[in-house]
Chains A and B, each alone.
Chain A
Amino acid sequence: MNRTIKIVVAATVFVLVTFSSAFADEDAREIIREVERRQSTETSKAELSMLVYPDAGDSGNVREFKVISYGRGEEDSYMQFIEPRSIKGLSILSRGGDQWVYFSSTGRVRKIAGKSKKQSVRGVGGDFSYEDLSGGNWGEKYDFRISSSDSKQWVLEGTPKERDSVYSRVLISIDRQRYLATKIEYYTEEEGHYKDLDMSEIKEMGGREVPTRMVMKNYDKNSMTVIITHAMQHDVPIDDKYFNPTRFYK
């Protein structure tokens, strides 16, 4: 009898442990799905400022860019520079893995092939890489589990599903109430703790809550990039020409 009880208890514990971790993974997936559901949009329009600090400790050395940006689905994006004056009108269209750049100074359009995902967006993105800004949802790229949680947030740990991912691990802090990511920590094999993205100053824009201030700190280069969102609209009609390589600059 005692032996039987022991077996039953052991089996119960085993099942509970196995299923609880499975449940936990399931919870993590659900959380991510909900986050993405709330953030997904068919189209978006935004006015942004990007401040690039090559040396995070030197606030006086900053490159400031003002852009307007249009997004369609997960893959297509268009951005045009308003400032600085020397590159006003320069536009970049990204569709899938391809990019086109329109130079307002010469009137020419150049096609650029797929970039290294780790690279900054034509240098303009500062510490935001193609990987960081590219479409595709988290759930498709990473397997998540809940690393920790408290009354205010979950911290999900993501490991990449594919080998060519730039990051070996990500940690995403998600606000429980809003299902909004507030912080992402990026890790790589080579650099270890590589970057941190802090998202704050959450405001309602275009009918949804948006972090209007995003700060990416690069610990390897000791640099920093800040993106400030001045205005944003979601699911609004956008002229198809902005996503057409032969017309986006007209």
Chain B
Amino acid sequence: MKLEQKVMGGIADFVIRYHKIIPIAAVVLLVLSVIAARNIRVTTQMEDMLPFDNPQVQSIHEIDEAFNSGMSLMITVEGRDKKRMAEAAEAFAAAVRSSPEAMQYVKTINLKMDREFVARWGLMLQKAEDLERTRDTFAELNLLPFLTSLNDSFERTYTGEEAEEEISTHRQESEAVAMLNQLEGFFGLLREYLENPSGTGAETTGKQLAETFLYGDLYGFSPDNTMLLFSILPNFSVDDIQKMIDMTEVIKKIRTDIQKTFPDLTVAYTGEVAVGADEQEAMGFDMLVPALVALVVILLLFTFSFNPIRSVLFALVVLVFGIVYTYGLLGITFKEITMLTSFMAVMLIGLGIDYGIQLVTNYTTYRACGLEPEEALQNTYVRAGMGTFLAALTTAIGFFVMAATGSKALAEFGVLAGMGIICCFTALFFILPSLLLWFVKRDPARTRLPKVEYRFLAGLGKTTFRHKWVTLAIGLVLTGGLLFAAFYNRMEYDVMKLEPAQMTSIKMYYKVLDKFDINIMSAMAVADSVEEARDLQEALEQESLIAEVASVAQFIPSDEQQVARLDEIRKIRAQGARYDAYYSYTPERMEELAYEIQRLEWNVIEIGDLSVAGLGENNKIVAKRNQMIREIFGAEVGKPGAEVFQKVIELIEGDRAAAQAVTTLDRSFAAEMDRIVAAMSRVDRKIKVGDLPDQYTKQFLEEGGSRNLVFAYPVKSATINKEGMLRFNQRMAQISPKITGWVPVLVSWSEDVESGSKKAALFIFLVVFAVMVITFRSFRYAILAAVPLLTGMIWMLGIYPLLGLKLNMLNIAVIPLVIGMGIDFGIHIVHRFRVEKDLETVYLFTGKAVFLSALTTMIGFGSLALIGSFPSIASIGAVLFLGIATCLIATMVLLPALLRFDSRTVKAVENQDFYETREETV
């Protein structure tokens, strides 16, 4: 103890001697730190928190370099009128194209299928066996024979003697829904025409009918036709955060304009680019606002806790100096802030102020006793300096130890936090006393503001000290109960739930998930060739966990397939006249037409029934069928639907004039069908990559290279819980080790954090305990100091699930921090107890400081929990708030009872009133 006192006394002498120079040097250092901090970049990417040699991270970086991350910004248009939604989408795309500000960031816009491409190569994209059936359908293109062939084709494919297709994959489901959409569009047009033949006119309707059937829906509508989705691909990589933000800003402005033009629709955005930009905004808020709020609340607290107020202001200012020094160091070391380190400022405010409080509390109390400033400062250093230093040392060591966990994210966090603690402590230990000596000369007893004395802390300590058995019994029961409750902690694995729910991009993410049953955050793989992409696509399409696969291979069949298809296309080309220009609709033919439409309805109903077998009752085909016809339960009928077929049948059967209208329409329809089929069947060579429109080459192909990107969009259930993600990851790894994306990265990250956090907690505790044993030179005191922490941790983990809260991959990473911070309380109290050997004195001085220190930390993290816009970051605040609170309660209630067992040095001060006499000397 004498050596400690000598060292601290020496430091006090140094500070007293140079108390005017130290602040000046501090300001110079501050300026240098601000300059260095300009090198820091902020990233929200999870892969940045994983080691570079992680295979998932390497794959992501490979994709990033060659394909600009494969990410996109998606625009959504919601409404009831498909034409109107398409108009809005076209207007949006046009606005982007005509904006140089937007186009500087845009690689390509995938608004819809390229019609010219479909018109030329549409037949080449069908399987040879389908083309064989299509050939029969194209043999006679007048409406009645066409529908008859269509029905025959459906029955052969799904329900007839040669039926082969079983609808069991998501791809088949999507294709079937697309086909139903085509029929819905087709019969919708037919109905409109029959209701008013002179309206749009036979020629226009005929063309529209032909295009609807042969080209299908060029836009990306949801199965229920209430949302249109298209994407804008950026020309920069995911690392370029500023461009991500700027591009999103421009798109938001365009969105506002389009929304005004189409007030009956809802125009919004989502996708990786938008989510990333919104995250930046939220994180910027979270980095600054909670910290400012915390500072203000702390200032108010201190105003009524300390005299004079100037001493507290200096503590806060010096703390800010310490934080700036930390960011200066960050600017020359890691140079980045991640999601895990984004709340560093708040954390350092909460932690660092501890040291300032210790110094200020002791100093002002000694001044209040009548000591001169230099003497008060000497006593502060000698009595409380070592305890404060030990607390800082153990916390810093604890953080540095996180570097040994093997987790890059936790190592970065630990090292940064350790540096921060050292910077804040050093600043407060040297600069603050200098300022106190230089500028705070007034007697703290002379004050106009009411001051809270916190005498209740000493009273509480004395009470539990006296009734130790009762206190310990209650503590044991509580600890046992909460230990049991701790096993009920649950983890939140749906990462999107940790994003700010109010962000437009997140709201739309969920809507797209519901409407399309597809997760837009895709898995990806780089294929070295089109053949490899094809193999991957085929394997992925068989997976029940994959909703959709997109790659260049869907446009480039294999050589063998192309040869077979060209043969079929040649046969289609060789067909003679495909329609009769003078085909007329007699009453008999109208009856047949009505029958064929009825037959088509039956086929659609039966296709829906068969889809239940392969895909379950709640599949999209059944949903679409029920919407366009009616709800069907076997022989029973449920809710009515659009009755697209029956309405046309009614018009045909009910109106004698319909025959003439159909005859006129048919001429135009058949002619247009023939023209399109003839154009499509002109293909006489294989399709190559060079034939693809820009929107596909830019999306899938590496610029100037042969590699291409395969996208696999998971189903909803694959990404909302741990089991789903692990299964997804496992299946993707079995298909190809090249597959990466945010789910594999998330799984890597969660494994990294879970094991890293456990190691970190253990390492920190062991190291801190070892340091305590060394500094106390006693196992007994080290254990006493550790008890509040251990019980506090158990209480925290027990109370957390009782509050209905869930752990997640971010807040579990900071649980080791509670160890680093919570241990300080025990160290301060035990150390001061060894010096004073008097409980009341300990809790009046150090107890008050510990209480205020904990309170300020809780305010800091509490502000994060309450105000933080990121649920993940707010949950970090909640865990830390609870952890500090429980450690504090354990320190104030349990520790005095335990100290009672130190019978050699206990001296109970029963009735002494310390503040009245002011005669207490040190």
Q: Which residues of A come within 8 Å of B, CB atoms? A: 54-55, 57-58, 60-61, 63, 65, 81, 84-90, 101, 103-108, 110-113, 119-120, 122-124, 221-223
Contacts and interface: CB of A to CB of B under 8 A. Distances in A.
Given A57-B723, A110-B160, A111-B160, A86 B613 contact: no
A120 B162 CA distance: 16
A111 B606 CA distance: 13
Interface string B291-304: 00000000000000
A110 B634 contact: no
B606 A112 contact: no
A106 B151 CA distance: 15
Interface string B460-490: 0000000000000000000000000000000
A57 B727 contact: yes
A81 B634 CA distance: 9
Nearest to A120: B166
Interface string B711-727: 00000010000011001
A86 B606 contact: no
A105 to B, nearest CB: 5
A103 B544 contact: no
B612 interface: yes
Interface string B161-181: 111001110000000000000
B632 A86 contact: yes
A113 B717 CA distance: 36
B617 interface: yes
A37 B288 CA distance: 81
B160 A87 contact: no
Contact of A63 (B155, B610, B617): B617
B613 A122 contact: yes
Given A106-B605, A108-B606, A221-B542, A85 B613 contact: no
Shortest beta-carbon contacts, A-B, top 4:
A88-B634, A123-B614, A123-B613, A54-B544
Contact of B634 (A54, A55, A60, A104): A104
B166 A101 contact: no
Contacts of B633: 85-86, 88
B609 A90 contact: yes
Contact of A87 (B155, B609, B717): B609
Interface of B: 155, 159-163, 166-168, 542, 544-545, 602, 605-606, 608-610, 612-617, 622, 632-636, 717, 723-724, 727, 731
B160 A90 contact: no
Nearest to B634: A88
Contact of B717 (A60, A105, A223): A60
Given A84-B617, A112-B160, A119-B166, 10 more contacts: A57-B727, A58-B724, A63-B616, A84-B612, A87-B617, A90-B609, A101-B159, A110-B160, A111-B161, A120-B168
A107 B610 CA distance: 14
Given A119-B166, A123-B168, A87 B602 contact: no
A223 B544 contact: yes
Nearest to B633: A85
Contacts of A119: 166
A103 B606 contact: yes
Contacts of A221: 542
17 contacts: A55-B544, A55-B545, A58-B723, A58-B724, A58-B727, A60-B717, A61-B717, A85-B636, A87-B634, A89-B634, A103-B159, A103-B602, A104-B635, A105-B605, A105-B606, A124-B613, A223-B544
B727 A55 contact: yes
Nearest to A122: B613
Nearest to A90: B609
A58 B717 contact: yes
A84 B613 CA distance: 10
A151 to B, nearest CB: 38
Given A85-B634, A111-B160, A103 B609 contact: yes
A103 B724 contact: no
Given A58-B724, A63-B616, A105 B163 contact: no
Given A86-B617, A88-B633, A123-B610, A106 B602 contact: yes
Given A112-B159, A112-B161, A106 B617 contact: no
B902 to A, nearest CB: 56
A105 B608 CA distance: 10
A86 B608 CA distance: 9
A112 B605 CA distance: 17
A119 B162 CA distance: 14
Contacts of B606: 103, 105-106, 108, 110
A98 to B, nearest CB: 9
Contacts of B612: 63, 84, 86-87
A86 B425 CA distance: 70
Nearest to A119: B166
B161 to A, nearest CB: 5
Given A58-B717, A112-B160, A122 B544 contact: no
A124 B614 CA distance: 6
A29 to B, nearest CB: 37
B504 to A, nearest CB: 30
Contacts of A84: 612, 617
A223 B543 CA distance: 10
Contact of B161 (A113, A122, A123): A113
A197 B545 CA distance: 24
Contacts of B632: 86, 105
A63 B619 CA distance: 11
A250 B573 CA distance: 47
Contact of A86 (B163, B602, B634): B634
Contacts of B635: 88-89, 104-105, 107
Contact of B544 (A61, A87, A89): A61
Contacts of B622: 86
Contacts of B608: 86, 105
Contacts of B542: 221
Contact of B731 (A105, A106, A222): A222
A108 to B, nearest CB: 6
Contacts of B155: 110
A105 B609 contact: yes
B916 to A, nearest CB: 69
Contacts of A58: 717, 723-724, 727
A62 B601 CA distance: 29
Contacts of A87: 609, 612-613, 617, 634
Contacts of A63: 612, 615-617
B723 A103 contact: no
Contacts of A124: 613
Contacts of B723: 57-58
A107 B608 CA distance: 14
A100 B786 CA distance: 77
A111 B162 CA distance: 9
Contacts of A89: 634-635
A55 B658 CA distance: 52
Nearest to B609: A87
A100 to B, nearest CB: 10
A60 B615 CA distance: 14
Contacts of B724: 58
Nearest to A84: B617
A120 B724 CA distance: 26
Given A86-B622, A105-B632, A110 B159 contact: yes
A114 to B, nearest CB: 10
Contacts of A88: 633-636
Nearest to A108: B602
B159 to A, nearest CB: 4
A128 to B, nearest CB: 12
B544 A86 contact: no
A112 B166 CA distance: 12
A75 B166 CA distance: 23
B634 A112 contact: no
A167 B634 CA distance: 36
Contacts of A110: 155, 159-161, 163, 606
A105 B613 CA distance: 15
B162 A113 contact: yes
